[in-house]
Structure 1
Amino acid sequence: MSRYGPRPVLAALAAILLTGPTTAANPTTAGISGALLSSVGPVTASRAPGCATPPAPARPVSAVPWPQQRYAPERLQSLATGSGVTVAVVDSGVDRSHPQLAGRVLTGTDLLDAGGDGTRDCVGHGTGVASLIAATARDDLGLRGLAPKARILPVRVSEQQVVDGRGTGRTVAPEDFARAIRWAVDNDADVVNLSVVLYADHPAVRSAVGYALARNVIVVAAVGNLHGSGDPRPYPAAYEGVLGVGAIGADGLRADFSQVGSYVDLVAPGTDVLIAAPGQGHHRAEGTSYAAPFVAATAALVREYRPELSAEEVVGRLLATADPAPGHGYGSGVLNPYRAVTETASGPVTRPAPMVSLADDRPDPALLAQQDRRAAARERAVLLATVGGLVVAGVALAALIVPRGARRRWRPADPG
């Protein structure tokens, strides 16, 4: 149920839906999931076993994508790589056969098809999310993960997409989604990435998130892509303790589809993002789905670099080191991985109050003018009071001196 009341257009979307990528033509109505954007180029793609439709063909991309240019992950490699940290990707599965994910994907679980290990990905969503976290660098490729030595724990819960504004494909029930979160925690996840959205508050999911937080696990969730549909309240992002992540573009401005609300804690790159495609190659995509893994990867870096910090302290560090944002809807600001890892806090790091945006910090000219007028009026009143006091004092002094002077005919007083 949305905080804005029931919406018929969302009623059919009560199940778990992936939150990206969206179609280029209509990112807000393609909203929660959308088909992958056009592949970068045609090559032969292997068919994923058991998939009704093979993943779209893709070829490798050598150009460095703008998120990597912004974050320059090579600066972090001498400090932290995510080594020893496990990030659960609860999503559409993660294809471990992609060359940049080889050796990084653990054996997970499949709650959509019994007996699976989470490494089948029929839509490419989970593979793309995982690549932003842990894709290994290659000289001939532009994509690299922020935490390339983190372990990815795949938990498959959906193969749903949204095409032309309509959800298609299978997904688990909310109760099984809750079970997926608990499974990830019980199998040693340090960070859980949830690039999925439910537009209803399910007790089982809420309980599973609490289970993770109580066990010192960082939970990162996308805030959804339905800003154009009134920002219906997204879960798990809206749960207390969950890091809700919105999307920005290369210009640093909030993506027009990225939802706005108190559940937004941070923003990160979420438009024209380069991601790994199942089997090989890359796609370009957009959605808050792809902003969330940048935050999850940064949490993995901090967990490695500062292992003594609790999950809550890591979350506080990410929020406290965010870069200022240019307006409403950015939470505490724009994710800054380098600052999150390197800056030393003077005291305990806790979740700060929501940051006032730079735009809101600018004084209102009308208010300034009013304050100036009031200050000038006060100065005039003080001046008039001072002058008036001097006049009164002068009159009183004259009333005392003049009669005496007149009686003595203005002769000096007798010194004797």
Structure 2
Amino acid sequence: MILRLNIHWLMFLTVPALPTLALGAGPGNLLDGRIEAITQQVERRAERLIERKITEDVKRRIVEASEMPTDLEALLPEVLPIRTNDGVTAFLDARQSDGTRAVAKQWLLTVSEEELGKLHHPDITILQRQQLNGLGLTVVRFRVKPERDSRAALRELLPELADQLDRNHIYTPQSATTQADPQAAIPSVHSLCTEPVRVGMVDTLVSSEHPAFTEARIVQQRFLAVGNHSGDLAAPRAHGTAVASVLVGRSSTQAEARLPGANLFSASVFYERSAVASGATLAHLLEGLNWLTEQNVAVINISLTGPDNRVLAAVIRRLHQQGRVLVAAVGNEGPAAPPLYPAAYDGVVGVTAVDNTRALYRWANRGQQVTFAARGVDITVAHPDGGQVTNSGTSLAAPVVTALLACRLLRLSPEQALQTMIDDAEDLGEPGRDPRFGHGFLDDLSDQLKTPPAA
């Protein structure tokens, strides 16, 4: 019906352009024959135009779908029940009034022993008290009644502790499956150093049985328990497997790993929200970071983003004071998006993604939080099913910088290591540090950035 309507509309527009003689001279059958022939010609032309338009629309949507990271957060319901492996609802993953997502009515607070007594109130239920020895902090997770579920209400209730508490926010990974350009040359990975560097990451579970990790040394710990529930949360594997493959994986038996001698310590903090989406509560993220400090890692890779949070900021400051180097993805929400965290905290090395031509990933966040750029577009990574896929995102650029830093930290202090990388970065965009590329591009294939093996 729609096709026929379009055809006749095009016929109406076409007929006035026909010669007058063809419409007004000759026998009726001749005129009818000519009109019928013209009609068929116009219909065929209209059909081709419509088919072309449909094809172009389909191609455009395919390109957009493959190039633009899906806003999975926006597709989630306002309130999403998160269940343990045994089917019990552990908590509600809820959208807040400011657009962020957090565990419904749950808050976190860093406290001292003396301050714990101030939480005794009928509107507050303490759910868990965590002693994070590696960080030297005590964190309390508590639930509030609906009428107290706001910063203003808690500031009124706990005026002396208001600056030490925040929501149990939920953080998300930062990469998306894409289709690589078949004409693009995908560079080989080169080993950056062979020493047994100690590297940490917080992410999803890693499929360590994948062939890419045959020679890798990966130690994993899950942080997915919830209160008194008997079961843990379901643990996804795709994102962590991809990030780990950038750090210590080999794409084939002939290929090299960036860090072939590394000991990779992976804290699994993400739970499944759906078949394609995952999230990490701040409480689990803090547990993972605390465990990594206890493993004495030199650098921690964080390929996740989320909102600013007072408790997370306090933990990042503590890690910085301990001399830990944190590398974080700046995010894939687009050039106009606000800064995301933890990449935007002072002292964190924020990483953006470029392709093999050094062009900026079109969906990368921009701003003063960008420290370096590295390859992160059309990257071949390991997939939990045992195969490989092509992904893009700042999540995949961050581990490149993490690997480079891990090698330099063998011989240099964190300040010295960062300064040498700033000196070695290839300046792109505006002269000097800029909001798109930071200090510039770190080419991990360049001999200049490789650390020679220890004598």
TM-score normalised to the size of structure 2? 0.55
Find the counterpart in structure 2 of residue 263 from structure 1.
369
Which residue, 312, 315, 328 being the options, matches 1:208? 315
Equivalences, count: 281
Match of 1:172 in 2: 280
Q: Which residue of 1 aligns with 2:267?
A: 155
Partner of residue 190 from structure 1, selected from 298, 319, 332: 298
Counterpart-to-counterpart distance in 2, 1:172 and 1:288:
18
Corresponding position of 2:108? none
Matching of residues 251-330 of structure 1 within 5 Å: 251-304=357-410, 306=411, 309-327=412-430, 328=434, 329-330=436-437
- How far did 1:130 drift? 0.7
1:218 corresponds, among 325, 333, 341, to: 325
Distance 1:317 1:65 in 2: 31
Unaligned runs of 5+ in 1: 1-5, 22-35, 41-62, 344-416
- Pair 7,325 (structure 1): closer, same or farther in 2 beyond 3 Å: farther
CA displacement at 1:225 relative to structure 2: 0.4
Percent identity of paired positions between Structure 1 and Structure 2:
24
Deviation, structure 1 residue 256: 0.7
The change in CA–CA distance for 1:210 and 1:88 in structure 2 (over 3 A counts) is same
1:317–1:340 contact (8 Å) kept in structure 2: no
Q: CA RMSD in A?
A: 3.3
Decide whether the 8 Å contact of 1:137 with 1:148 is kept in 2. no
Whether contact under 8 Å (2:305, 2:341) holds in the other structure is: yes
Q: In the alignment, what sits opposite 1:15?
A: 170
Separation in 1, partners of 2:345, 2:186: 27
Q: Distance in 1 between the 2:339 and 2:318 partners?
A: 21
C-alpha distance in 2 between matches for 1:162 and 1:315? 38
Cα deviation code 1:59-112 (max 9, x no counterpart): xxxx9995634xx515x4xxx22x221111200121110122135243332112
* 1:259 to 1:134, Cα distance in 2 relative to 1, 3 A: same
- Rounded to whole Å, the distance in 2 between the matches of 1:162 and 1:291 is 25
Q: How does 1:17-416 map to 2 (within 5 A)?
A: 17-21=172-176, 36-37=177-178, 68-69=187-188, 73=190, 76=192, 80-81=193-194, 83-113=195-225, 122-136=236-250, 138-139=252-253, 144-159=256-271, 168-169=277-278, 171-198=279-306, 200-228=307-335, 230-304=336-410, 306=411, 309-327=412-430, 328=434, 329-337=436-444, 338-341=447-450
SS in structure 2 of the partner of residue 246 of structure 1: strand
The equivalent residue for 2:64 is none
- Give the Cα separation in 2 of the matches to 1:182 and 1:65: 41
Q: Structure 1 pair 342/189, CA: closer, same or farther in 2 (3 Å)?
A: closer
In structure 2, how many angstroms separate the alpha carbons of the residues matched to 1:84 and 1:184? 16
Aligned partners of 1:7 and 1:251: how far apart in 2? 40
Cα distance between partner residues in 2 of 1:64 and 1:177: 40
Alpha-carbon deviation of 1:194?
0.1
**Tell me, what secondary structure is at the counterpart of 1:280?**
coil
Instruction: From the superposition, tell whether residues 7 and 315 of structure 1 become closer, same or farther in structure 2 (CA, over 3 Å).
Output: farther
1:243 and 1:174 map into 2 onto residues whose CA distance is: 20
| Conservation of the 8 A alpha-carbon contact between 2:238 and 2:383 | yes
In structure 2, the residue corresponding to 1:237 is in which secondary structure? coil
**Shift in Å, 1:303:** 2.5
Please say if residues 134 and 147 of structure 1, whose CA atoms lie closer than 8 Å, have aligned partners that are also in contact: yes
**What is the CA distance between 1:216 and its match in structure 2?**
2.3
Closer, same or farther: CA 100–156 of 1 in aligned 2, 3 Å: same
Please give the TM-score of this superposition, normalised by the length of structure 1: 0.60
Distance 2:183 2:298 in 1: 29
Computing the radius of gyration over CA atoms, which structure comes out larger, 1 or 2? 1
Q: What displacement does 1:203 show?
A: 2.1
Verify the 8 A CA contact 2:207 2:237 in the aligned structure 1.
Answer: no
CA shift, 1:113, in A, is 4.2
Which residue identity does 1:240 align to in structure 2? D
SS in 1 for 2:326: strand
Distance 1:11 1:94 in 2: 27
Partner of 1:386: none
Q: In 2, are the aligned partners of 1:179 and 1:208 still within 8 Å (CA)? A: no
Tell me if structure 1 keeps the 8 A contact 2:301–2:399: yes
8 Å contact from structure 2 (residues 374, 442) kept in 1: yes
The amino acid of 1:73's aligned partner reads H
Amino acid at match of 1:212: L
**How far, CA to CA, are the matches of 2:438 and 2:362 in structure 1?**
15
Q: Secondary structure at the match of 2:421?
A: helix
